[in-house]
Structure 1
Amino acid sequence: MQARTERGNGALVLLCLAQLTLLLDFSIVNMALPAIESDLGLSATGLQWVVSAYALGFGGMLLLGGRMADLLGRRRIFVVGLLVFGLSSLAAGLASASWLLIATRAAQGIGAGMVAPAVLSLITTTFPEGAERNRALGWFSAASASGFALGVLIGGALTDYVGWQAVFLVNVPIVALAVPFAYRLLADVRSSGPRTGYDLLGAATATAGITVLIYGLTEVPRLGLASGQVLAALGAGVALLVAFVAVEARSSAPLVRLSIFRNRSLTAANVLSVLVPGVMGAVVLVLSLYLQQVKGNDPLVAGLSFLPLGLVVVVAAPVAAMMATRFGVKPVLVVGALIVGVAMLVLSRISPSAGYVGVVLPGLALAGVGFGAFFATSTVAATSDVDDSEQGLASALVNTAQQAGTALGVAVLISLAEHRTTGLGARTAESLAAGFRFALLIAAAVAVAAAIAAAVALPGRVRNSAGPTDEARVGDRANATTD
């Protein structure tokens, strides 16, 4: 019993480390962009693609990666994804041409899009539903929610003291250690249901639709929402996703079984996971710009400013998971979203003269508490009452919602900030701060709206405590097909 517990804890540490690494890569490169621009001679568009290529590869691969984990084996897809991620990180760190760096960033995203749903589904199928799974998802959420903020800090330190190549090469030893431990700690469980074929057309339309849609959103801050290029991308993305739904409705072996959305908890959690993570992703970028453009901080100091956010999330997410076991998922999730809204109101007081301790620090601390609580409970809700054979799919859906939400939040809030700044005339520290304040007020409204939506849409009792079916579920895992 003790050996099994130790192996389970070891597996959880491994999976959380992998998840943290994936999320770090969304922001770790941001602080290295000026150095990359100088060394490789990238244009502004090229720099944007260094960031966007990862998001496109990641978002486009999630649904396919999640279903592959269910059908081909979760450990297998976890390891294959890690190897793709690690090798492309090595290539990115050694890249001497801009096109190669952008291509390897896309490959990193594809690897991450395989790993992410495998990680979450490995957790939900390893730990039985209830207090044990909630505890595991609390630590998973801490790793996920703190990753973006910590990436800004680590990226600044590596760029200043080692060089921009280090923000990519740091992934290589992590992957080298994770792969052998995966074979030691993780069982390669996959769905034991009948195989009726693979939904290639569904996979193609889903991957293309999500990729094109995220591309359109990532281009909004640079080109504007009225740009023909942006509108064409958004329109094409929506059309492809409509085609995907039509394909799934007729497929005998769909990539996404549409009836899974009858699970009210899963559906509500996915919608909410577009809103609150979208707010947080945009706010980290808004504050990064504020600290550097308005306050004049260098990358390392700006990165250090986010350390409280990461530390608070690491504490808040596991605590929130325990509270959800005792009081229920719904009240903890609603309160978490409300706290995020309050945090945005506190941060909306930023100005050229505002002090870090008086405004930014308390705002980040509150955001860490709220987002830690929201992330942990929304993950529980999104995977609750889902059969083990579809945990990869459920994991892919919530990851896709978070990724699309982040792209949407950044596109909308950064565009609103820019519009407000431009409307004030000259581009000064005060006009920039005014734009950022406006974006933060909108972010507060979105977070509060998410809290209200959660109170209305989530079922009164999201399954989160050990129930009479737990023994049957453990038996199902033991009888699952294992390679």
Structure 2
Amino acid sequence: MTLAESARPDSAARPADPRRLAALVLLCAANFMVILDAQSVIMGVPVIAADLGLSPVEAQWVLSANLLTFGGLLLLGGRAADLLGRRKLFMAGTALFLLVSLLSAVATAGPLLLAARSLHGVSAALMAPTALAILTDTFPEGRPRNRALAIWSGIAALGATIGLLLGGALLDWFGWQSLFYVNVPVAVLMLVLSPVLLRESRDTSAHRTFDVAGAVLSTAALVLLVYVLVEAPAWGWASFRTLGLGAVFLVLTATTIVVERRSAAPLLPARLFRSATVLGGNVLTVLIAMLAFGSSVVLSQYSLGVLGYTPIVFGLSQSAMPVAAVLGAYAGQAALARLGIRPVAVTALLLMAVGSALLTGLSPDSGYLTSVLPGLVVFGLGLGIGPVVLAAAALKGVTTADAGIASGINVAAFQVGGALGVAVVSTVIATTMAATPGPAGALAGFHTGMLVCAGIGAAGVVVAFFLLKNAKRGQLAAVPRVH
């Protein structure tokens, strides 16, 4: 058996499941709801804080508590799905998502809401990587999986904008509790349909035990990293607290590597990172997420703060981006089959860099059609292409046994990249505004923020060119299958 054959996922050898299109709709619905919830709650934080009497720090933790548990538990959730069963863990995450949505909706005090949002992150850490792992197992590598990933990415892009529109409408008409109640019927439907549409899959290899030490260390490292990224803009990047916790993170990471190398059944198998394609896909996912979240910070603060847009108007003004992202996702999967990973990844990052550069000219006097729309469309095309090609790269050659942890790594890369993008861009904006007070400083801060995004995109082009150099059409790097 050749290396390429041994690297081929088990799903490639099975006949196509006739339910797989319906299963894809269900999996995309789960991804859609996770993103919809996150975006709509962002819109609702000011109203929630006023109603529950939350301080500015407590209000921030309505978002950060979810981000912390979501990002910190992704790897553990992915590996647990591999060992215990992906459908089982997906349904457990969905059931928890239903419960915490109800708890959030009936919360009458800040601590209860913050506890519910922390548990929401746990549910998302079970749902998101498990759904992607089930998709990987259901659709064989190549054109079928690329098309499925294109739909997955396109639905995610729509969820981001619909979250802004729906969140604004629900807040205006029914109050902030409706942001959580809307999740309930969808979660119930997913629980009913999952046993019917989703096939159970798990790691059938000999090692059916948890790597407890690796799980604890890697989870602690991820939680600490996300926490530092969330708080660093307020603490200061050069503060003792930021640098001290950063050093602790490095120690935890180094210890995790040593423990994983010695483990008989590691949480993070080294074989996953022997492929430059898999490694490159995850590194570039971090950069794509930095661009996506960083640009969102600039555009939302500029539109709501400088232009005075209402949430609904802001959502409508940004709608061109997800529409372009849907088109980009489908174009990306078609180009992926013809050109291979590296050219498509370079194109995606280049489009996002150019789109960011076009948006550096924002000003209150700018016309939407001439100064804003072109940048949103170009950026959106790259945003649609990027996740498709990078998910394909990050899951290339991954066996069925490792589908959950590989998906968890990729989703974790996106979450960490998002937190890093928000932290970096927020710091740049604040620093620039402090150096130049007044309206001119605010505008300069937003311009500099988009310029940083353009620089991240340009750096991503270079990284993609070198890290994905072996990911050619018909000659993609393989991951050895080792049990």
Given that 1:279 and 1:409 are in contact with CA atoms closer than 8 Å, whether structure 2 keeps it comes out as yes
Match for residue 339 of structure 2 among 327, 330, 340: 327
Matches within 5 A, 1:309-328: 309-328=321-340
5+ unaligned residues in a row in structure 2: which ranges?
1-14
By how many angstroms is 1:22 displaced?
1.2
Given that 1:213 and 1:236 are in contact with CA atoms closer than 8 Å, whether structure 2 keeps it comes out as no
Q: In the alignment, which residue of structure 1 is the partner of 2:165? A: 153
Match for residue 444 of structure 1 among 454, 458, 465: 454
Given that 1:26 and 1:55 are in contact with CA atoms closer than 8 Å, whether structure 2 keeps it comes out as no
Q: In the alignment, which residue of structure 1 is the partner of 2:420? A: 408
Give secondary structure in 2 for the equivalent of 1:29.
Answer: helix
| CA root-mean-square deviation | 1.9
Tell me, in whole angstroms, the C-alpha distance in 2 between the residues paired with 1:320 and 1:233: 39
Question: For each residue in 1:180-231, what CA deviation from the matched residue of structure 2 results, as whole angstroms up to 9, or x when unmatched?
Answer: 1111000111111012521111111111110111011011233322333333
Given that 2:355 and 2:378 are in contact with CA atoms closer than 8 Å, whether structure 1 keeps it comes out as yes
By how many angstroms is 1:456 displaced?
1.3
Q: Is it true that 1:39 corresponds to 2:39 in the alignment?
A: no
Give secondary structure in 2 for the equivalent of 1:284.
Answer: helix
Q: In the alignment, which residue of structure 1 is the partner of 2:255? A: 243
Matches within 5 A, 1:123-272: 123-195=135-207, 197-272=209-284
By how many angstroms is 1:358 displaced?
2.2
By how many angstroms is 1:463 displaced?
6.4
5+ unaligned residues in a row in structure 1: which ranges?
474-483
Tell me, in whole angstroms, the C-alpha distance in 1 between the residues paired with 2:157 and 2:284: 15
Tell me, in whole angstroms, the C-alpha distance in 2 between the residues paired with 1:106 and 1:225: 25
Given that 2:17 and 2:138 are in contact with CA atoms closer than 8 Å, whether structure 1 keeps it comes out as no
Tell me, in whole angstroms, the C-alpha distance in 1 between the residues paired with 2:329 and 2:105: 33
Letter in 2 for 1:121: A
Tell me, in whole angstroms, the C-alpha distance in 2 between the residues paired with 1:146 and 1:260: 31
Given that 1:130 and 1:464 are in contact with CA atoms closer than 8 Å, whether structure 2 keeps it comes out as no
Give secondary structure in 2 for the equivalent of 1:183.
Answer: helix
Tell me, in whole angstroms, the C-alpha distance in 2 between the residues paired with 1:444 and 1:302: 22
By how many angstroms is 1:325 displaced?
1.0
Matches within 5 A, 1:80-159: 80-159=92-171
Match for residue 336 of structure 1 among 348, 356, 362: 348
Q: In the alignment, which residue of structure 2 is the partner of 1:11? A: 23
Letter in 1 for 2:368: Y
Q: In the alignment, which residue of structure 2 is the partner of 1:477? A: none
By how many angstroms is 1:465 displaced?
9.8
Letter in 2 for 1:377: V
Q: In the alignment, which residue of structure 1 is the partner of 2:86? A: 74
Query: TM-score under structure 1 normalisation?
Result: 0.92
By how many angstroms is 1:179 displaced?
1.0
Q: Structure 1 stretch 338-347 or stretch 291-300: which is displaced more?
A: 291-300
By how many angstroms is 1:331 displaced?
0.9
Match for residue 434 of structure 1 among 416, 439, 444: 444
Q: Structure 1 stretch 322-331 or stretch 99-108: which is displaced more?
A: 322-331
By how many angstroms is 1:102 displaced?
0.9
Give secondary structure in 2 for the equivalent of 1:255.
Answer: coil
Change in Cα spacing, 1:379 to 1:31, as seen in structure 2 (3 Å) is: same
By how many angstroms is 1:282 displaced?
1.3
By how many angstroms is 1:441 displaced?
0.6
Q: Is it true that 1:399 corresponds to 2:411 in the alignment?
A: yes
